[in-house]
Amino acid sequence: MRQHLLALALVAALGGCQQADAPPAANDAPAAAASASDAAVDTAFADLSKRALDTWMQLSPISATQIGDHRYDSEIDDLSAAGQQKMLTAYKGLVADLDRIDVSKLSRENQVDAAILRNQLQSDIWNAEVLQSSRWDPQVYNGLAGSAIYSLMAREFAPLPERLKSATARMEKLPAIFAQARENLDPARVPKIHAETVAKQNRGILSIVDSFIVPHMGELPAEDQKRLQAAIEGLKKAVDEQQTWLDKTLVPNAKGDFRIGADLYDQKLKFALNSSLSRAEIGERARAELKRVRQDMYGIAQTVLKDTAGAPALPANPTDAQQQAAIEAALELAYADKPARDKVVDDAKAALAQSTEFVRKHDLMTLPDSPVDIILMPEFQRGVAVAYCDSPGPLDKNLKTFYAVSPIPDDWSDAQVDSFLREYNSRMIHLLSIHEGTPGHYLEGWHSGKFPSTLRAVLRSGLFAEGWAVYTERMMQEQGYLDNDPLFHLVQLKFYLRTISNAILDQGVHVDNWTREQAMHLMTHDAFQQESEASGKWVRAQLTSAQLPTYFVGAQEHFDTRKAVQEKQGDKFNLKAYHDQMLSYGAPPVRFARQLMLDQPIE
């Protein structure tokens, strides 16, 4: 999961601070590649791109910090009704300016950026006017409050005393975010699962303060220390006040439906994916893939269980029950090899080193030269995903990427831990490190960060990023990772089933009114997930919408694009050259990368 993409999602939901004159953001749109006759149009678009970026950064200082624009590090977002109206007016003005540009006369790269810009602006406006997340989703406010401090302290983009002063200023202002949450949220529209989740996460912001700020207070002058201590005390009081409101008012009165319904879902999906595939096409393709992958898993089960005492029946044409039993029996062989309860992070580090060396040895793509750290997931971000890749903001250069892993909760029973570690067995840890690290998100983020368009970097496609990470799982297996271990292949297919089921689950929950039982059957039976993993995904499916399909749709478009390029190039196709070229485009929606690579019209 790419964390700075969350910043842009939050920009779409929120209002902004008072707009002021500011210097240009670093790096404008890429240099025009058009003919001299079109140079004026490219120049006009470059100016619009810069103004759009400046508008986003000014409207959401917290997102700006995550992205790497540090002009507003002491400010926070204005979530008031007036702030949200200012945002809406600004975005409609930018759309009008874009309408005045003849996109057909832009360079091909700028045509892509123009399409991405239009999609984001239209999405922002639709969210403000129609979806109205700020009226019913308390995660908006909780996520911003935590990110306001974490994004300042997690990376060394500036001297520590400077970042501490910015954190002080933000902590002084953060009570306003909580107050505006209480003002804006309508409990009748807030789903109970959202209210309960945020109530559990609310105090997590104080753990960020305790971990990242309190130990370093002594590095400030006395007067600054005094101000910082007062800001911390004020924040603690505000968090306590918010907790009381969450527990006593929001949670008991939360009556909203977490399902957003077909109409809202279809439009949100269109904006989120920027893909040519419709909901119906995604569902049809996902169900077909589910059937195909289970057949492939059965074939592996026939191999690894052959001549094994006590193995289930392995007929050539199995019934559903026989197929299920055989695959489950084969998976048990993989589940037996699992990390110790306190060694998940250590094993992830070792797996990342091994996958990196495999890519280097087989010369599959150019490797990054910037660092990556595996860390425990910050408390305020736990509860949605088991792991994520947190790359530096596109304007923060040469800083660390974090591969964050959620620790096993201390209060889990032995049965809960065993269920978790069966799901995240040793081979699955390898796949997780491929997906989040090398050659997945970490490597892709490094390559994409070299593309010269700041606009594209800020609006990087989650579809591209998540699809790439899933693509690399299959690609590494195809190239023989872990010595062509059939159980690794089996677990890779099971991991891919999770991607497939994500797409089916999201539609089932938000459009087809699935019950928890239906969702759990898909995940635990059809996709062989453990109870703990499936239960967590059920929560995630309720808390989010139109994000889970990005993995499947993006992967399908990556698979399709490589096949199309192979067919065009024939014997001249080179896998490393293909990968490096695909990664060179700065992570636009995959369909645009395909059009650029195959020299097709930008549509």
- Domain presence at residue 529: yes
- Kindly state whether residues 445 and 583 are assigned to the same domain: yes
Nearest Cα to 139, choosing from 127, 150, 129, 147? 147
- Kindly state whether residues 121 and 142 are assigned to the same domain: no
- Kindly state whether residues 565 and 419 are assigned to the same domain: yes
- Kindly state whether residues 170 and 145 are assigned to the same domain: yes
- Kindly state whether residues 463 and 428 are assigned to the same domain: yes
Work out the average pLDDT over 526-549: 93
Which residues constitute the domain of residue 68? 1-131
User: Which of 178-182, 282-286, 400-404, 547-551 bottoms out in mean pLDDT, i.e. has the lowest?
Assistant: 400-404
pLDDT digits (tens, 9 = 90+) for 104-124: 999 999 999 999 999 999 999
- Kindly state whether residues 370 and 488 are assigned to the same domain: yes
- Domain presence at residue 297: no
Whether 189 has a pLDDT exceeding 90, the answer reads yes
pLDDT at 381: 60
To 5 degrees, how large is the angle CA 558–CA 562–CA 563? 115
Q: What are phi and psi for residue 527, nearest 5 degrees? A: -110, 5
Looking at the structure of the chain, the number of domains it has is 3
User: Which of 232-241, 352-361, 422-431, 476-485 bottoms out in mean pLDDT, i.e. has the lowest?
Assistant: 422-431
Q: pLDDT category, 336, cuts 50, 70, 90? A: very high
Pairwise CA distance, residues 289 & 295, whole Å = 10
Pairwise CA distance, residues 589 & 463, whole Å = 6
Half-sphere exposure of 209 (CA within 13 A, CB side): 24
- Kindly state whether residues 216 and 181 are assigned to the same domain: yes
Q: pLDDT category, 7, cuts 50, 70, 90? A: very low
Please provide the size of the chain in residues. Answer: 603
Token look-up 């279809």 returns 266
- Kindly state whether residues 456 and 578 are assigned to the same domain: yes
pLDDT at 371: 78
pLDDT at 383: 52
pLDDT digits (tens, 9 = 90+) for 271-281: 999 998 899 99
- Kindly state whether residues 253 and 181 are assigned to the same domain: yes
Whether 35 has a pLDDT exceeding 70, the answer reads no
pLDDT at 385: 59
End-to-end CA distance of the chain: 27
Whether 378 has a pLDDT exceeding 50, the answer reads yes
Pairwise CA distance, residues 422 & 534, whole Å = 13
Pairwise CA distance, residues 203 & 261, whole Å = 32
Q: pLDDT category, 155, cuts 50, 70, 90? A: confident
Work out the average pLDDT over 495-515: 97
Cβ atoms within 10 Å of 99's Cβ, excluding its own? 9
- Domain presence at residue 312: no
Whether 187 has a pLDDT exceeding 70, the answer reads yes
Take residue 183 and report the two structure tokens written for it.
Answer: 């003002």
Strands (DSSP E) found in 105-244: none
Pairing of strands 401-405, 372-376: parallel
- Domain presence at residue 267: no
Pairwise CA distance, residues 413 & 395, whole Å = 43
pLDDT at 36: 40
pLDDT at 398: 76
Average confidence score pLDDT of the chain: 91
pLDDT at 11: 34
Whether 33 has a pLDDT exceeding 60, the answer reads no
- Domain presence at residue 368: yes
Cβ atoms within 10 Å of 414's Cβ, excluding its own? 8
Question: Cβ-count burial of 411 within 10 angstroms (0-12 exposed, 13-18 middle, 19+ buried)?
Answer: exposed
Q: Which residue has the higher pLDDT, 348 or 499?
A: 499
Final residue of a structural domain among 91, 111, 131 = 131
Final residue of a structural domain among 214, 231, 258 = 258
Q: Before 439, cis peptide (omega within 30)?
A: yes
To 5 degrees, how large is the angle CA 200–CA 166–CA 168? 60
Final residue of a structural domain among 258, 280, 312 = 258
Whether 2 has a pLDDT exceeding 60, the answer reads no
- Kindly state whether residues 17 and 126 are assigned to the same domain: yes
**CA distances to 62, 80, 167, 171, 227 from 234, in Å:** 19, 21, 13, 8, 10
**CA distances to 38, 55, 67, 140, 390 from 394, in Å:** 28, 17, 6, 22, 11
Work out the average pLDDT over 65-92: 96
Stated as kind and residue range, the H or E segment containing 60 is none
- Domain presence at residue 309: no
Work out the average pLDDT over 223-249: 98
- Kindly state whether residues 568 and 477 are assigned to the same domain: yes
Write out 205-222 in H/E/C secondary structure.
Answer: HHHHHHHHHHHHHHHCCH
pLDDT > 90 fraction of the chain, expressed in percent and rounded: 80
- Yes or no: say if 392 and 70 are a contact pair by the CB < 8 Å rule: no
List helix spans (H) across 515-583.
516-520, 531-543, 549-569, 575-583
Cβ atoms within 10 Å of 470's Cβ, excluding its own? 27
Q: What are phi and psi for residue 5, nearest 5 degrees? A: -65, -30
Work out the average pLDDT over 2-6: 36
Residues 580, 585, 587, 591, CA torsion sign: negative
pLDDT at 382: 64
- Kindly state whether residues 143 and 124 are assigned to the same domain: no
pLDDT at 21: 31
Work out the average pLDDT over 199-220: 95
- Domain presence at residue 310: no
To 5 degrees, how large is the angle CA 582–CA 583–CA 588? 85
- Domain presence at residue 559: yes
Whether 202 has a pLDDT exceeding 70, the answer reads yes
Pairwise CA distance, residues 554 & 499, whole Å = 10
